[in-house]
Chains A and B, each alone.
Chain A
Protein backbone atom coordinates (compact mmCIF):
# COMPACT_ATOMS: atom_id res chain seq x y z
CA UNK A 1 0.00 0.00 0.00
CA UNK A 2 2.68 2.44 1.09
CA UNK A 3 4.70 1.85 -2.03
CA UNK A 4 1.78 2.23 -4.38
CA UNK A 5 0.03 5.25 -2.93
CA UNK A 6 1.89 8.04 -4.70
CA UNK A 7 2.11 6.26 -8.06
CA UNK A 8 -1.64 5.61 -7.83
CA UNK A 9 -2.29 9.29 -7.13
CA UNK A 10 -0.14 10.29 -10.07
CA UNK A 11 -1.81 7.76 -12.35
CA UNK A 12 -5.21 9.19 -11.41
CA UNK A 13 -3.82 12.63 -12.13
CA UNK A 14 -2.46 11.65 -15.51
CA UNK A 15 -5.74 9.98 -16.50
CA UNK A 16 -7.85 12.92 -15.31
CA UNK A 17 -5.63 15.39 -17.17
CA UNK A 18 -5.83 13.31 -20.34
CA UNK A 19 -9.58 12.77 -20.18
CA UNK A 20 -10.65 16.24 -19.08
CA UNK A 21 -8.12 18.57 -20.65
CA UNK A 22 -5.70 17.14 -23.18
CA UNK A 23 -8.21 14.80 -24.78
CA UNK A 24 -10.98 17.34 -25.44
CA UNK A 25 -8.49 19.96 -26.65
CA UNK A 26 -6.91 17.52 -29.13
CA UNK A 27 -10.34 16.32 -30.17
CA UNK A 28 -11.40 19.92 -30.80
CA UNK A 29 -8.39 20.46 -33.01
CA UNK A 30 -9.08 17.24 -34.91
CA UNK A 31 -12.75 18.20 -35.37
CA UNK A 32 -11.57 21.33 -37.15
CA UNK A 33 -10.18 19.15 -39.96
CA UNK A 34 -13.55 17.53 -40.70
CA UNK A 35 -16.82 18.55 -42.23
CA UNK A 36 -19.95 17.34 -40.46
CA UNK A 37 -23.42 18.50 -41.36
CA UNK A 38 -24.82 17.08 -38.13
CA UNK A 39 -23.56 15.15 -35.14
CA UNK A 40 -24.83 11.87 -36.52
CA UNK A 41 -23.54 12.28 -40.06
CA UNK A 42 -20.29 10.70 -41.18
CA UNK A 43 -17.41 13.20 -40.80
CA UNK A 44 -15.57 13.97 -44.04
CA UNK A 45 -11.90 14.88 -43.83
CA UNK A 46 -11.34 18.28 -45.44
CA UNK A 47 -7.82 19.12 -44.24
CA UNK A 48 -7.32 22.83 -43.70
CA UNK A 49 -10.38 23.84 -45.68
CA UNK A 50 -12.24 25.03 -42.57
CA UNK A 51 -9.34 27.27 -41.63
CA UNK A 52 -9.12 28.73 -45.12
CA UNK A 53 -12.86 29.27 -45.07
CA UNK A 54 -12.87 30.94 -41.63
CA UNK A 55 -9.88 33.17 -42.34
CA UNK A 56 -11.39 34.40 -45.58
CA UNK A 57 -14.57 35.60 -43.89
CA UNK A 58 -14.90 39.28 -42.98
CA UNK A 59 -16.90 38.35 -39.89
CA UNK A 60 -13.90 36.50 -38.48
CA UNK A 61 -11.67 39.58 -38.65
CA UNK A 62 -14.48 41.72 -37.32
CA UNK A 63 -14.82 39.33 -34.37
CA UNK A 64 -11.09 39.33 -33.72
CA UNK A 65 -10.96 43.14 -33.61
CA UNK A 66 -14.09 43.31 -31.43
CA UNK A 67 -12.56 40.80 -29.04
CA UNK A 68 -9.36 42.82 -28.74
CA UNK A 69 -11.31 46.03 -28.15
CA UNK A 70 -13.65 44.39 -25.62
CA UNK A 71 -10.84 42.69 -23.70
CA UNK A 72 -8.43 45.63 -23.96
CA UNK A 73 -10.79 48.38 -22.83
CA UNK A 74 -12.34 46.34 -20.04
CA UNK A 75 -8.91 45.32 -18.68
CA UNK A 76 -7.64 48.89 -18.63
CA UNK A 77 -10.77 50.08 -16.85
CA UNK A 78 -10.73 47.16 -14.38
CA UNK A 79 -7.09 47.72 -13.51
CA UNK A 80 -7.36 51.51 -13.14
CA UNK A 81 -10.58 51.33 -11.11
CA UNK A 82 -9.35 48.35 -9.09
CA UNK A 83 -6.09 50.05 -8.11
CA UNK A 84 -7.93 53.26 -7.25
CA UNK A 85 -10.41 51.37 -5.07
CA UNK A 86 -7.62 49.43 -3.39
CA UNK A 87 -5.70 52.61 -2.55
CA UNK A 88 -8.78 54.11 -0.90
CA UNK A 89 -9.73 50.92 0.93
CA UNK A 90 -6.16 50.72 2.21
CA UNK A 91 -6.64 53.98 4.15
CA UNK A 92 -7.87 53.68 7.70
CA UNK A 93 -11.45 54.93 8.12
CA UNK A 94 -14.50 53.90 10.08
CA UNK A 95 -16.57 51.22 8.36
CA UNK A 96 -13.67 50.10 6.20
CA UNK A 97 -14.31 46.37 6.65
CA UNK A 98 -17.91 46.84 5.49
CA UNK A 99 -16.95 48.81 2.38
CA UNK A 100 -14.27 46.23 1.55
CA UNK A 101 -16.91 43.51 1.77
CA UNK A 102 -19.37 45.46 -0.40
CA UNK A 103 -16.68 46.13 -2.99
CA UNK A 104 -16.15 42.37 -3.31
CA UNK A 105 -19.81 41.43 -3.82
CA UNK A 106 -20.12 41.89 -7.61
CA UNK A 107 -17.47 39.20 -8.09
CA UNK A 108 -19.76 36.65 -6.43
CA UNK A 109 -22.73 37.28 -8.69
CA UNK A 110 -23.42 34.85 -11.50
CA UNK A 111 -23.00 36.72 -14.80
CA UNK A 112 -26.62 35.97 -15.67
CA UNK A 113 -27.82 37.85 -12.61
CA UNK A 114 -25.61 40.88 -13.22
CA UNK A 115 -26.90 41.02 -16.78
CA UNK A 116 -30.54 40.63 -15.78
CA UNK A 117 -30.25 43.28 -13.06
CA UNK A 118 -28.55 45.67 -15.49
CA UNK A 119 -31.28 45.07 -18.07
CA UNK A 120 -33.94 45.72 -15.44
CA UNK A 121 -32.23 48.95 -14.33
CA UNK A 122 -32.10 50.30 -17.88
CA UNK A 123 -35.54 48.95 -18.90
CA UNK A 124 -37.02 51.31 -21.47
CA UNK A 125 -39.99 52.43 -19.40
CA UNK A 126 -39.62 51.22 -15.80
CA UNK A 127 -35.87 51.00 -15.27
CA UNK A 128 -34.52 53.13 -12.43
CA UNK A 129 -31.66 54.45 -14.58
CA UNK A 130 -34.02 55.35 -17.40
CA UNK A 131 -36.33 57.17 -14.99
CA UNK A 132 -33.52 59.04 -13.23
CA UNK A 133 -32.02 60.13 -16.54
CA UNK A 134 -35.42 61.29 -17.71
CA UNK A 135 -35.87 63.29 -14.49
CA UNK A 136 -32.51 64.95 -15.09
CA UNK A 137 -33.58 65.85 -18.62
CA UNK A 138 -30.98 63.60 -20.28
CA UNK A 139 -31.76 61.96 -23.61
CA UNK A 140 -32.45 58.20 -23.41
CA UNK A 141 -29.61 55.78 -24.19
CA UNK A 142 -30.35 52.74 -26.33
CA UNK A 143 -27.99 50.54 -24.35
CA UNK A 144 -27.96 47.47 -26.56
CA UNK A 145 -29.65 48.67 -29.73
CA UNK A 146 -27.05 51.00 -31.26
CA UNK A 147 -23.63 49.81 -32.37
CA UNK A 148 -21.57 52.26 -30.33
CA UNK A 149 -23.63 51.97 -27.14
CA UNK A 150 -23.72 48.15 -27.23
CA UNK A 151 -19.94 47.76 -26.96
CA UNK A 152 -19.78 50.22 -24.06
CA UNK A 153 -22.67 48.47 -22.30
CA UNK A 154 -21.02 45.05 -22.38
CA UNK A 155 -17.75 46.64 -21.23
CA UNK A 156 -19.56 48.44 -18.40
CA UNK A 157 -21.14 45.22 -17.11
CA UNK A 158 -17.84 43.32 -17.38
CA UNK A 159 -15.92 46.03 -15.55
CA UNK A 160 -18.51 46.09 -12.77
CA UNK A 161 -18.38 42.30 -12.39
CA UNK A 162 -14.60 41.79 -12.37
CA UNK A 163 -13.07 44.94 -10.89
CA UNK A 164 -13.29 43.32 -7.42
CA UNK A 165 -10.70 40.78 -8.55
CA UNK A 166 -8.18 43.59 -9.11
CA UNK A 167 -9.26 45.51 -6.01
CA UNK A 168 -8.89 42.49 -3.73
CA UNK A 169 -5.62 41.18 -5.09
CA UNK A 170 -4.05 44.63 -5.23
CA UNK A 171 -5.27 45.48 -1.73
CA UNK A 172 -3.72 42.30 -0.36
CA UNK A 173 -0.48 43.16 -2.14
CA UNK A 174 -0.48 46.72 -0.77
CA UNK A 175 -0.33 45.31 2.72
CA UNK A 176 2.99 43.66 1.92
CA UNK A 177 4.79 46.89 0.96
CA UNK A 178 7.25 47.66 3.80
CA UNK A 179 6.27 50.91 5.51
CA UNK A 180 9.93 51.94 5.89
CA UNK A 181 9.96 52.56 2.14
CA UNK A 182 7.18 55.10 2.51
CA UNK A 183 8.87 56.72 5.49
CA UNK A 184 12.10 57.06 3.53
CA UNK A 185 10.26 58.55 0.55
CA UNK A 186 8.45 60.97 2.85
CA UNK A 187 11.71 62.07 4.44
CA UNK A 188 12.96 62.77 0.93
CA UNK A 189 9.97 65.02 0.46
CA UNK A 190 7.92 62.83 -1.90
CA UNK A 191 4.19 63.63 -1.96
CA UNK A 192 1.45 60.98 -2.18
CA UNK A 193 1.46 60.85 -5.98
CA UNK A 194 5.24 60.43 -6.20
CA UNK A 195 5.15 57.84 -3.41
CA UNK A 196 2.61 55.86 -5.46
CA UNK A 197 4.62 55.97 -8.68
CA UNK A 198 8.07 55.58 -7.11
CA UNK A 199 7.41 53.21 -4.22
CA UNK A 200 4.09 51.38 -4.56
CA UNK A 201 4.08 50.62 -8.28
CA UNK A 202 7.70 49.39 -8.57
CA UNK A 203 7.29 47.11 -5.53
CA UNK A 204 3.98 45.72 -6.76
CA UNK A 205 4.97 45.44 -10.40
CA UNK A 206 5.32 41.61 -10.37
CA UNK A 207 1.87 41.05 -8.89
CA UNK A 208 0.38 43.63 -11.24
CA UNK A 209 1.94 41.84 -14.20
CA UNK A 210 0.20 38.63 -13.13
CA UNK A 211 -3.14 40.35 -12.48
CA UNK A 212 -3.17 41.95 -15.94
CA UNK A 213 -2.18 38.67 -17.59
CA UNK A 214 -4.92 36.65 -15.87
CA UNK A 215 -7.62 39.24 -16.46
CA UNK A 216 -6.52 39.65 -20.07
CA UNK A 217 -6.75 35.92 -20.79
CA UNK A 218 -10.14 35.60 -19.13
CA UNK A 219 -11.65 38.69 -20.74
CA UNK A 220 -10.53 37.53 -24.17
CA UNK A 221 -12.29 34.19 -23.59
CA UNK A 222 -15.37 35.60 -21.85
CA UNK A 223 -18.52 34.43 -23.57
CA UNK A 224 -21.53 34.94 -21.36
CA UNK A 225 -21.80 38.73 -20.87
CA UNK A 226 -22.03 39.47 -24.58
CA UNK A 227 -24.14 36.43 -25.40
CA UNK A 228 -26.70 37.32 -22.74
CA UNK A 229 -26.96 41.01 -23.65
CA UNK A 230 -26.54 41.55 -27.37
CA UNK A 231 -25.86 38.05 -28.67
CA UNK A 232 -23.12 39.71 -30.74
CA UNK A 233 -25.36 42.36 -32.30
CA UNK A 234 -26.44 44.82 -33.42
CA UNK A 235 -25.16 43.81 -36.87
CA UNK A 236 -22.09 42.11 -35.43
CA UNK A 237 -20.97 45.20 -33.47
CA UNK A 238 -20.19 43.16 -30.35
CA UNK A 239 -19.56 39.77 -31.92
CA UNK A 240 -16.18 38.41 -30.79
CA UNK A 241 -14.48 35.05 -31.35
CA UNK A 242 -16.24 33.05 -28.56
CA UNK A 243 -19.64 34.19 -29.89
CA UNK A 244 -18.70 33.53 -33.50
CA UNK A 245 -17.41 30.09 -32.54
CA UNK A 246 -20.59 29.25 -30.62
CA UNK A 247 -22.86 30.53 -33.36
CA UNK A 248 -20.96 28.65 -36.05
CA UNK A 249 -20.96 25.35 -34.16
CA UNK A 250 -24.40 25.36 -32.54
CA UNK A 251 -26.61 27.67 -34.61
CA UNK A 252 -25.20 26.97 -38.08
CA UNK A 253 -24.27 23.38 -37.08
CA UNK A 254 -20.83 23.67 -38.63
CA UNK A 255 -18.92 21.92 -35.83
CA UNK A 256 -15.69 21.86 -37.85
CA UNK A 257 -15.63 25.60 -38.49
CA UNK A 258 -16.64 26.32 -34.88
CA UNK A 259 -13.73 24.19 -33.65
CA UNK A 260 -11.40 25.91 -36.14
CA UNK A 261 -12.37 29.33 -34.75
CA UNK A 262 -11.80 28.14 -31.16
CA UNK A 263 -8.41 26.74 -32.16
CA UNK A 264 -7.32 29.93 -33.93
CA UNK A 265 -8.54 31.93 -30.96
CA UNK A 266 -6.41 29.80 -28.63
CA UNK A 267 -3.33 30.10 -30.87
CA UNK A 268 -3.74 33.86 -31.01
CA UNK A 269 -4.04 34.01 -27.22
CA UNK A 270 -0.95 31.82 -26.77
CA UNK A 271 1.01 34.15 -29.04
CA UNK A 272 -0.22 37.20 -27.12
CA UNK A 273 0.76 35.61 -23.79
CA UNK A 274 4.17 34.67 -25.20
CA UNK A 275 4.80 38.27 -26.33
CA UNK A 276 3.55 39.55 -22.98
CA UNK A 277 6.09 37.39 -21.17
CA UNK A 278 8.80 38.68 -23.47
CA UNK A 279 7.81 42.29 -22.81
CA UNK A 280 7.29 41.87 -19.05
CA UNK A 281 9.57 39.06 -17.85
CA UNK A 282 8.49 37.48 -14.59
CA UNK A 283 10.90 36.14 -12.04
CA UNK A 284 10.12 32.49 -11.44
CA UNK A 285 9.11 32.12 -7.81
CA UNK A 286 6.90 29.10 -8.46
Chain B
Protein backbone atom coordinates (compact mmCIF):
# COMPACT_ATOMS: atom_id res chain seq x y z
CA UNK B 1 0.00 0.00 0.00
CA UNK B 2 2.75 2.43 0.75
CA UNK B 3 5.10 2.17 -2.18
CA UNK B 4 4.63 3.39 -5.69
CA UNK B 5 7.15 1.08 -7.24
CA UNK B 6 5.81 -2.39 -6.86
CA UNK B 7 5.40 -4.28 -10.09
CA UNK B 8 4.27 -7.56 -8.55
CA UNK B 9 0.79 -7.04 -7.22
CA UNK B 10 -1.69 -9.81 -6.62
CA UNK B 11 -4.92 -9.64 -8.65
CA UNK B 12 -6.75 -9.16 -5.38
CA UNK B 13 -4.64 -6.11 -4.45
CA UNK B 14 -5.11 -4.70 -7.95
CA UNK B 15 -8.87 -5.06 -7.74
CA UNK B 16 -8.89 -3.40 -4.32
CA UNK B 17 -6.93 -0.43 -5.66
CA UNK B 18 -9.24 0.06 -8.64
CA UNK B 19 -12.24 -0.17 -6.35
CA UNK B 20 -10.78 2.41 -3.96
CA UNK B 21 -9.85 4.71 -6.85
CA UNK B 22 -13.39 4.46 -8.22
CA UNK B 23 -14.76 5.33 -4.78
CA UNK B 24 -12.50 8.40 -4.58
CA UNK B 25 -13.56 9.52 -8.04
CA UNK B 26 -17.24 9.05 -7.25
CA UNK B 27 -17.02 10.83 -3.90
CA UNK B 28 -15.11 13.80 -5.34
CA UNK B 29 -16.90 14.23 -8.63
CA UNK B 30 -20.50 13.12 -8.12
CA UNK B 31 -21.74 16.40 -6.56
CA UNK B 32 -20.08 18.28 -9.43
CA UNK B 33 -21.65 15.95 -11.98
CA UNK B 34 -24.99 16.44 -10.28
CA UNK B 35 -24.64 20.23 -10.38
CA UNK B 36 -23.82 20.25 -14.10
CA UNK B 37 -26.40 17.65 -15.10
CA UNK B 38 -29.13 19.42 -13.09
CA UNK B 39 -28.41 22.64 -14.94
CA UNK B 40 -29.04 20.89 -18.28
CA UNK B 41 -32.24 18.99 -17.45
CA UNK B 42 -35.68 19.84 -18.82
CA UNK B 43 -38.00 21.37 -16.20
CA UNK B 44 -40.45 18.47 -16.02
CA UNK B 45 -37.54 16.20 -15.06
CA UNK B 46 -36.45 18.55 -12.30
CA UNK B 47 -39.93 18.44 -10.76
CA UNK B 48 -40.19 14.66 -10.58
CA UNK B 49 -37.79 12.07 -9.22
CA UNK B 50 -34.72 12.70 -11.37
CA UNK B 51 -32.89 9.92 -13.17
CA UNK B 52 -29.12 9.65 -12.86
CA UNK B 53 -28.66 10.64 -16.49
CA UNK B 54 -30.90 13.35 -17.99
CA UNK B 55 -33.15 12.01 -20.75
CA UNK B 56 -32.32 15.00 -22.92
CA UNK B 57 -30.23 18.13 -22.50
CA UNK B 58 -31.50 21.68 -22.69
CA UNK B 59 -30.00 25.11 -22.13
CA UNK B 60 -33.26 26.68 -20.97
CA UNK B 61 -31.97 27.47 -17.49
CA UNK B 62 -28.97 29.23 -18.94
CA UNK B 63 -31.24 31.35 -21.15
CA UNK B 64 -33.51 32.31 -18.29
CA UNK B 65 -30.55 32.98 -16.00
CA UNK B 66 -28.84 35.25 -18.48
CA UNK B 67 -31.95 36.97 -19.78
CA UNK B 68 -34.08 37.42 -16.66
CA UNK B 69 -31.73 37.82 -13.71
CA UNK B 70 -28.85 40.05 -12.60
CA UNK B 71 -26.45 37.20 -13.24
CA UNK B 72 -24.60 38.81 -16.19
CA UNK B 73 -23.97 41.95 -14.12
CA UNK B 74 -22.78 39.84 -11.16
CA UNK B 75 -20.49 37.84 -13.39
CA UNK B 76 -18.98 41.05 -14.71
CA UNK B 77 -18.54 42.37 -11.15
CA UNK B 78 -16.80 39.17 -10.10
CA UNK B 79 -14.52 39.37 -13.10
CA UNK B 80 -13.61 43.03 -12.56
CA UNK B 81 -12.89 42.47 -8.86
CA UNK B 82 -10.85 39.31 -9.46
CA UNK B 83 -8.76 40.79 -12.29
CA UNK B 84 -8.05 43.99 -10.37
CA UNK B 85 -7.12 41.96 -7.30
CA UNK B 86 -4.76 39.78 -9.34
CA UNK B 87 -3.08 42.79 -11.00
CA UNK B 88 -2.49 44.70 -7.76
CA UNK B 89 -1.44 41.56 -5.90
CA UNK B 90 1.18 40.80 -8.55
CA UNK B 91 2.71 44.28 -8.54
CA UNK B 92 2.78 44.61 -4.76
CA UNK B 93 3.97 41.12 -3.96
CA UNK B 94 6.74 41.16 -6.58
CA UNK B 95 8.07 44.46 -5.25
CA UNK B 96 7.84 43.45 -1.61
CA UNK B 97 9.24 39.94 -2.02
CA UNK B 98 12.09 41.13 -4.20
CA UNK B 99 12.94 44.01 -1.88
CA UNK B 100 12.92 41.75 1.16
CA UNK B 101 15.17 39.12 -0.41
CA UNK B 102 17.70 41.48 -1.98
CA UNK B 103 18.10 44.37 0.43
CA UNK B 104 20.07 43.95 3.63
CA UNK B 105 18.15 46.01 6.10
CA UNK B 106 17.05 45.57 9.67
CA UNK B 107 13.38 45.05 10.26
CA UNK B 108 12.65 43.58 6.86
CA UNK B 109 11.79 40.31 8.55
CA UNK B 110 8.93 42.19 10.21
CA UNK B 111 7.24 42.52 6.82
CA UNK B 112 7.40 38.78 6.20
CA UNK B 113 6.37 38.00 9.76
CA UNK B 114 3.43 40.40 9.42
CA UNK B 115 2.36 38.60 6.26
CA UNK B 116 2.53 35.23 8.01
CA UNK B 117 0.54 36.55 10.92
CA UNK B 118 -2.10 37.79 8.52
CA UNK B 119 -2.73 34.15 7.63
CA UNK B 120 -4.12 33.61 11.09
CA UNK B 121 -6.46 36.59 11.24
CA UNK B 122 -10.09 35.65 11.64
CA UNK B 123 -11.88 37.15 8.61
CA UNK B 124 -14.01 39.33 10.87
CA UNK B 125 -10.92 40.81 12.53
CA UNK B 126 -10.21 42.43 9.15
CA UNK B 127 -13.76 42.75 7.81
CA UNK B 128 -15.12 44.77 10.74
CA UNK B 129 -12.43 47.51 10.72
CA UNK B 130 -12.33 47.63 6.90
CA UNK B 131 -16.10 48.01 6.75
CA UNK B 132 -15.97 50.80 9.33
CA UNK B 133 -13.11 52.55 7.52
CA UNK B 134 -14.83 52.31 4.13
CA UNK B 135 -18.02 53.72 5.63
CA UNK B 136 -16.07 56.68 7.04
CA UNK B 137 -14.49 57.58 3.70
CA UNK B 138 -17.59 56.82 1.64
CA UNK B 139 -16.18 53.78 -0.09
CA UNK B 140 -18.70 51.34 1.34
CA UNK B 141 -20.67 49.17 -1.06
CA UNK B 142 -18.23 49.65 -3.96
CA UNK B 143 -16.26 47.15 -5.98
CA UNK B 144 -13.09 48.98 -4.96
CA UNK B 145 -13.79 48.24 -1.29
CA UNK B 146 -14.04 44.56 -2.19
CA UNK B 147 -10.74 44.65 -4.12
CA UNK B 148 -8.99 46.21 -1.13
CA UNK B 149 -10.50 43.57 1.20
CA UNK B 150 -9.37 40.75 -1.07
CA UNK B 151 -5.84 42.18 -1.09
CA UNK B 152 -5.64 41.45 2.64
CA UNK B 153 -5.82 37.73 1.72
CA UNK B 154 -3.97 37.67 -1.58
CA UNK B 155 -1.02 39.96 -0.81
CA UNK B 156 0.31 37.86 2.10
CA UNK B 157 -0.05 34.80 -0.11
CA UNK B 158 1.85 36.42 -2.97
CA UNK B 159 4.65 37.80 -0.80
CA UNK B 160 5.05 34.56 1.09
CA UNK B 161 5.21 32.47 -2.07
CA UNK B 162 7.48 34.80 -4.07
CA UNK B 163 9.72 35.32 -1.06
CA UNK B 164 10.57 31.62 -1.17
CA UNK B 165 10.91 31.84 -4.94
CA UNK B 166 13.30 34.82 -5.07
CA UNK B 167 15.31 33.50 -2.13
CA UNK B 168 16.11 30.36 -4.11
CA UNK B 169 17.18 32.39 -7.15
CA UNK B 170 20.96 32.97 -7.21
CA UNK B 171 22.01 36.58 -6.90
CA UNK B 172 24.86 35.96 -9.39
CA UNK B 173 22.34 36.09 -12.23
CA UNK B 174 21.56 39.74 -11.58
CA UNK B 175 25.19 40.53 -10.83
CA UNK B 176 26.25 39.11 -14.18
CA UNK B 177 23.63 41.21 -15.94
CA UNK B 178 24.74 44.34 -14.07
CA UNK B 179 28.38 43.64 -14.93
CA UNK B 180 27.25 43.46 -18.55
CA UNK B 181 25.91 47.00 -18.21
CA UNK B 182 22.33 46.50 -17.07
CA UNK B 183 20.99 48.84 -14.41
CA UNK B 184 19.54 47.22 -11.31
CA UNK B 185 16.05 47.86 -12.66
CA UNK B 186 17.11 46.50 -16.06
CA UNK B 187 18.49 43.33 -14.47
CA UNK B 188 15.27 42.97 -12.50
CA UNK B 189 13.02 43.44 -15.53
CA UNK B 190 15.11 41.47 -18.06
CA UNK B 191 16.57 38.70 -15.93
CA UNK B 192 14.67 38.18 -12.70
CA UNK B 193 11.09 38.62 -13.90
CA UNK B 194 11.33 36.31 -16.93
CA UNK B 195 12.85 33.61 -14.74
CA UNK B 196 10.06 34.08 -12.21
CA UNK B 197 7.20 33.39 -14.60
CA UNK B 198 6.25 30.02 -13.03
CA UNK B 199 6.05 31.63 -9.59
CA UNK B 200 4.08 34.57 -10.95
CA UNK B 201 1.60 32.26 -12.65
CA UNK B 202 1.03 30.40 -9.39
CA UNK B 203 0.45 33.62 -7.48
CA UNK B 204 -1.93 34.92 -10.17
CA UNK B 205 -3.93 31.68 -10.13
CA UNK B 206 -4.41 31.60 -6.40
CA UNK B 207 -5.13 35.32 -6.12
CA UNK B 208 -7.81 34.84 -8.77
CA UNK B 209 -9.18 31.75 -7.03
CA UNK B 210 -9.42 33.50 -3.65
CA UNK B 211 -11.09 36.58 -5.05
CA UNK B 212 -13.41 34.72 -7.44
CA UNK B 213 -14.69 32.33 -4.77
CA UNK B 214 -14.92 34.79 -1.87
CA UNK B 215 -18.25 35.08 -0.12
CA UNK B 216 -17.41 36.38 3.36
CA UNK B 217 -15.91 39.76 2.44
CA UNK B 218 -18.53 40.34 -0.25
CA UNK B 219 -21.26 39.70 2.31
CA UNK B 220 -19.86 42.36 4.63
CA UNK B 221 -18.84 44.96 2.05
CA UNK B 222 -21.53 44.84 -0.62
CA UNK B 223 -25.13 45.85 0.00
CA UNK B 224 -26.67 46.86 -3.32
CA UNK B 225 -27.81 44.43 -6.00
CA UNK B 226 -25.86 46.31 -8.66
CA UNK B 227 -22.51 45.57 -6.97
CA UNK B 228 -23.08 41.95 -5.97
CA UNK B 229 -20.59 39.34 -7.10
CA UNK B 230 -21.72 35.89 -8.24
CA UNK B 231 -21.22 34.05 -4.91
CA UNK B 232 -23.28 36.71 -3.14
CA UNK B 233 -25.93 36.73 -5.86
CA UNK B 234 -26.29 32.95 -5.89
CA UNK B 235 -26.52 32.84 -2.11
CA UNK B 236 -29.35 35.36 -2.13
CA UNK B 237 -31.25 33.28 -4.71
CA UNK B 238 -31.61 30.55 -2.13
CA UNK B 239 -33.46 32.82 0.22
CA UNK B 240 -35.88 33.77 -2.55
CA UNK B 241 -39.55 32.89 -2.39
CA UNK B 242 -39.51 30.19 -5.08
CA UNK B 243 -36.42 28.00 -5.18
CA UNK B 244 -35.30 27.90 -8.80
CA UNK B 245 -32.84 25.02 -8.52
CA UNK B 246 -32.29 24.81 -12.27
CA UNK B 247 -31.24 28.46 -12.47
CA UNK B 248 -29.10 28.12 -9.36
CA UNK B 249 -27.28 25.07 -10.72
CA UNK B 250 -26.75 26.81 -14.08
CA UNK B 251 -25.28 29.83 -12.30
CA UNK B 252 -23.06 27.57 -10.20
CA UNK B 253 -21.82 25.68 -13.24
CA UNK B 254 -20.96 28.90 -15.08
CA UNK B 255 -18.82 30.22 -12.25
CA UNK B 256 -17.06 26.88 -11.67
CA UNK B 257 -16.21 26.26 -15.33
CA UNK B 258 -13.45 28.91 -15.67
CA UNK B 259 -11.76 27.38 -12.61
CA UNK B 260 -12.01 23.85 -13.99
CA UNK B 261 -10.68 24.99 -17.37
CA UNK B 262 -7.75 26.76 -15.71
CA UNK B 263 -7.04 23.67 -13.64
CA UNK B 264 -6.97 21.38 -16.69
CA UNK B 265 -4.52 23.69 -18.46
CA UNK B 266 -2.36 24.69 -15.48
CA UNK B 267 -2.70 21.85 -12.97
CA UNK B 268 0.98 21.75 -12.10
CA UNK B 269 0.88 25.35 -10.88
CA UNK B 270 -2.07 24.53 -8.64
CA UNK B 271 -0.17 21.63 -7.09
CA UNK B 272 2.96 23.75 -6.74
CA UNK B 273 1.03 26.52 -4.99
CA UNK B 274 -0.61 24.13 -2.53
CA UNK B 275 2.58 22.29 -1.68
CA UNK B 276 4.43 25.53 -1.04
CA UNK B 277 1.89 26.13 1.69
CA UNK B 278 1.21 29.44 0.07
CA UNK B 279 -2.49 29.12 -0.03
CA UNK B 280 -5.20 30.12 2.32
CA UNK B 281 -8.56 28.44 2.03
Contact = CB atoms under 8 A, between A and B. Distances in A.
A38 B14 CA distance: 65
Given A20-B148, A28-B126, A195 B2 contact: yes
Interface string B80-110: 0000000000001001101110110100100
A121 B249 CA distance: 11
Nearest to B280: A218
B203 to A, nearest CB: 15
Instruction: Classify the secondary structure of B's interface with A.
Output: helix
Interface string B8-40: 000000100110110011011101101100100
A95 B20 CA distance: 13
Contacts of B103: 6-7, 9-10
Which of B38, B95, B98, B264 neighbours the largest number of chain A CB atoms within 10 Å of its CB?
B95
A92 B271 contact: no
A99 B24 contact: yes
Given A165-B281, A195-B3, 18 more contacts: A7-B99, A9-B96, A10-B96, A10-B103, A16-B96, A25-B121, A87-B2, A89-B21, A90-B4, A111-B213, A117-B252, A120-B248, A160-B31, A168-B275, A172-B274, A218-B281, A242-B123, A258-B128
The residue in B115, B216, B219, B277 that gathers the most chain A C-beta atoms within 10 A of its C-beta is B216
Contact of A223 (B119, B123, B270, B274): B123
A106 B35 CA distance: 12
Contacts of B102: 6
A193 interface: yes
Prevailing SS type, chain A contact patch: helix
Contact of A221 (B28, B123, B155): B123
A252 interface: no
A65 interface: no
Interface string B115-149: 10111111111111111110110000000000010
